[in-house]
Structure formats: structure tokens, C-alpha cells
Structure 1
């Protein structure tokens, strides 16, 4: 049975919803199995989910550049992302770090402009400033936005904020680079497998962590694995046969959806200021997208 465009697009919507639960679910898993051990378990189980849905990877067909750069960027990003969430001081900070991660749409567009040698327009600059300002608004916490408040918040856990920020940059490179060098191949199963191996390697050097194995913790682990692996599998189907323009636009609302899910999953009440920052990041990303679309339309007309 062939997959129609509407069905594929629906799968894409589901994948965005699954992605939006990852911050809350991964943080929950890390609280039960440790930051590194929990992440390793999530990606190991996620690899199994992907293998069932997508099959074994045909590595011999992949371009060598894609194998090297694709795996390096993907694995580095995933490890930065999950460790930032797992090592956060508390659940509130984990949600903040999730927002740092969601700078990647703006970074991806800015990088695409650079790679495509497009002009850096005023509208694009406004979008980037809006997104970054929204992030600063979020990081300032419950205090009025100020340089001191932001610095003090970052100083409370500088490693996690650095990991989340580097992760956003890495994913923007992954999104731009792999499209150019993949040759139409999808290495998601291989990348997940290598990520889980990398995390288990880190686990060997960590102090032994006691796993809190209960029905609730195992259920959350399974849900996190399905969300992580399933989102990637469904998204792959969606971008091949679905309405990519619609899904791309919808994905810019992920920060809002993710924050809502995270607040529920982590039982954390968020302030009005936090939500204002989330909306600024989202509007900034959409503004960046509109800026690039306007440039493409003008280029097409000319």
C-alpha cells in the first residue's frame, strides 16, 4: 500500500508532537537512571524502535563524507542535548535548557543564508535578534531581565548552558550539511546506534549510578525511546512524501508546544515572563523563515 501525501503529512505532525515531549521525558528518565545511563538507555531502546520501523542501515551505499560528518554532527548534538537536560540543577532549568536548544531553527536559517550566499537582510537580522532576546528573557528567570540576572543564572550551571548552546549550533550545521552530502540516503538508524554506543562509553567512566527500576520509571523510559526514535522515523517518511512546506512552518511552533508538554510532564509551573520569552523565540524563528522565503520569491521573479 502506497503512502499518500496526506498520510505522510499526518505522520510529520505526529513526529513534531513526539519531539515536543522529549525535554520532559528525557529529564524524567535521567532522574531515575542518571544523566548518562538514562540517555544511553533511551538511545539504545530508540535504536531498536528505528530498526523495527526503518530496517538495518545499508552502510556500504552511504557516501563517505556523509558517514563521517553526518555521524559526527548528529552524535555530538544528541550527546550535548541529553546531557544538558540530565545534568540540569532542577526541572525548571531543564526546560530553560530546552529553550536554548530551540535556537537551532534560527541558526539553521542563518547558516543556510551563508551557505547559499544570499544577502543577510534586515528582516532576517530582526528575526535573529528576536529569537536571541527571547532566550535571554527565558534565562533571566523570575527576575526582571538584566545582564546580572542572566549571568548569575548561567553561572549556576555553566556546563549545561554551554552544552545546550553548542548543541543548537551543531544541529544547524547538521541540518544544512547532511542535506548536501547525504546523496539521498538516511543514516538515522546508524547514527542512533553510534550515539547509544558513545553514551555507554561515557557511562563506563562515570561513577556507578543506581537505577531506580519501577513500573513508572520503565514506562517513562519506553515512552522517551518511542518519542526519540519514533519522531525521527516518522519525520523521515514525512519529508519524503508529505507536504514539507506545511511541516516546516509547523515545526517553528515547536518551542511553544515543547514548553507546554514539558510543564505538564515535569509538573513545573512557568511564569508569564518565561512564556513571553518562548513566544519571542518562536516569532523570531518564523520571522527568519519569512525573510528567506521573501528572498527566494524575489530571486524566482527576477
Structure 2
């Protein structure tokens, strides 16, 4: 019975991987109807309600103060960068590229764990990080692949979106590193989603948000995006707590490729062979970074904390 329950929990966790892989395309679909800020605010509002139902209410007194403060700041900052970077993209293809930049976070997380959490690592961390960075350069180089001049032109076309995506990758690496030490096994993701929704509504109200065009297609995208966000986190927590963590960790590293494939289908944005080669390099680099630290342990006692990803 215990083996069966573990397998079921692992399957639930794998569902989270699929749900998160759809987020880039769905966020873009919502932003096209409701605007970058208003669309994101609606997504996180609905997702907060879904999480409240699926995970339960937040017990503030049970949360460590440091985790409450730093977790809130880093999580909200990351989600703002993620959603707005996709929403501000000037085309569907650019939204997919921006989403790929965000998936540098696994490599950054490993580096942060080495620098700040005393995580031991092998020499594989160096080629892993380099391969991931070169992969992103290939993705941003357009049809020519690894073309630095083309990449520079691409980024200059919309520095805000690409800058937000890159900042988000760094911030999420910081969130994973910090909360692993201070969360004490607690999970405040419902609260963090609510705070993200409030921050987005504040931006929408005080900075002159874009007009929202309600439509059936937009409403469907909104429901799907909020469901992918909210139920993705709920499913991931079930998998991490009761399933095979090794299987789930390995599967999560393939999210960039799955995300690009689903976004390309949803947004009807064909992607070049050069893009897929770059995406594969991002995945390979992240896996090498993981292998560099897998089984190495920490120089000090590891802190307990809930594993989260997006």
C-alpha cells in the first residue's frame, strides 16, 4: 500500500511539471486579452483562491518570521518578473524566448547553493553553467543560433522583457537558496500568491493599467493559467512530500523544452531548429549543474525546507 501511495504521489508531482510547462503560453494568452499587468493580476487572484481551497488557509503564527519576510519579498518579486516579462513581450516568439531566459534559474540556484549554503560540488558545475549560458545565447540569436550580434539586436528590441526574465531567474535562485535554510519545513505559497496579486493590482491601479478586453477566449486562458499556477503548486507539494523526489527533480529539468513546445502550439509560433538546439543546451547545462552537486551533501547540516519550482 505504501509503495502504491508513493507512486501515486509521484504521478501527482509529474502532473505539476506538465502544468508548469504550460504557464508561459497561458500567461501570454491572458495578457493578450487583459493586458500584461491586469492579466497577471487576474491570474494570481484566481490562483490564490484555488490554492486556498486546495492547500488550506495560511497560519501566520506558525511561520518563521525570517521566512515570512524574505520569502514574501523574493517570491513576489520573482512572480512579478515572470508574469510581466512574458506579458510585455512584443510577439509570441519573444514570449517563448523570455520564458527560456527564466529557466536559467536551476543553474543559478546551484551556484547560489555552493556560494551561500556551503553545498559541495564537482568540476561539472563549470561546464554545466557554461553550457546553460551558451544555450540561452543560441536561443536569443534567432534563426542563426549562436550569433552574438543577432542576440544583441534581439535584446535591444525589448530590454524590459529580457531584463525582467533574467532578474527573475536570479531572484528565484535566491528564493530557493534562502528559504531552504529558514523555512523550517513550512510552506506559505498561498500567502505569497495573495501578496503577488495585491502587488499586481496596486501596479494596475496606480500606474494606469491597460484596458481589459473581456472575451470567451480570454476567460478560458485565465481559468487555465490560474489552474496551472495554483494546482501546479499544490500537486508539486504532494509529490515532494510523499513521492519519489529524485524522479520529480529529474523531470523538472525538462520543463524548458516542454514549456517551449506547449507555448509554440498554444500561440501558433513556429520555432527554428536553432532554438531547439539552444533549449536542449539549457536543459543539459542544468542537469550537469545538478549532477555536480547530487549526493555531495553540505559542509554544514542541511536545513529542512519545502522544495519549490516554477
Place the TM-score, normalised by the shorter chain, in its bin: over 0.9
Query: 2:25, 2:263 within 8 Å by CA — same for their partners in 1?
Result: yes
Q: Is the deviation greater in 253-262 or in 1-10?
A: 1-10
Say if 1:238 and 1:120 are closer, same or farther in 2 by CA, change over 3 A.
Answer: closer
- Could you say which residue in structure 2 is the equivalent of 1:272? 273
Q: What TM-score does the superposition give when structure 1 sets the normalisation length?
A: 0.95
Counterpart in the other structure of 1:300: none
- 5+ long unaligned stretches in structure 1: 298-302
Match of 2:164 in 1: 163
Question: Is residue 215 of structure 2 the alignment partner of residue 206 of structure 1?
Answer: no
Decide whether aligned partners of structure 1 residues 271 and 265 sit closer, same or farther in structure 2, where only a CA change above 3 A counts: same
What does residue range 99-114 of structure 1 map to in structure 2 within 5 Å?
Answer: 99-114=100-115
Q: Distance in 1 between matches of 2:240 and 2:66?
A: 22
Aligned partner of 1:216 in structure 2 is 217
Q: Please state whether the residue corresponding to 1:268 is helix, strand or coil.
A: coil
Equivalent residue runs for 1:63-102 within 5 Å: 63-102=64-103
Which residue in 2 is equivalent to 1:263?
264
> 5 Å matches for 1:111-190?
111-118=112-119, 121-190=122-191
C-alpha change, 1:57 and 1:108, in structure 2 (3 Å) is: same
Query: 1:1-80 counterparts in 2 under 5 A?
Result: 4-80=5-81
Structure 2 spans left out of the alignment, 5+ residues: 299-310
Contact 2:107 2:129 in 1 (8 A): yes
Aligned-pair CA distance for 1:119: 5.2
Q: Once the two structures are superposed, what CA deviation does each residue of 1:209-240 show, in whole Å capped at 9, x if it has no partner?
A: 33221222101100000001110111111111
**How many residue pairs end up in the alignment?**
298
Q: State how far apart, in whole Å, the 2-side matches of 1:270 and 1:65 are.
A: 43
Q: TM-score of the superposition, structure 2-length normalised?
A: 0.92
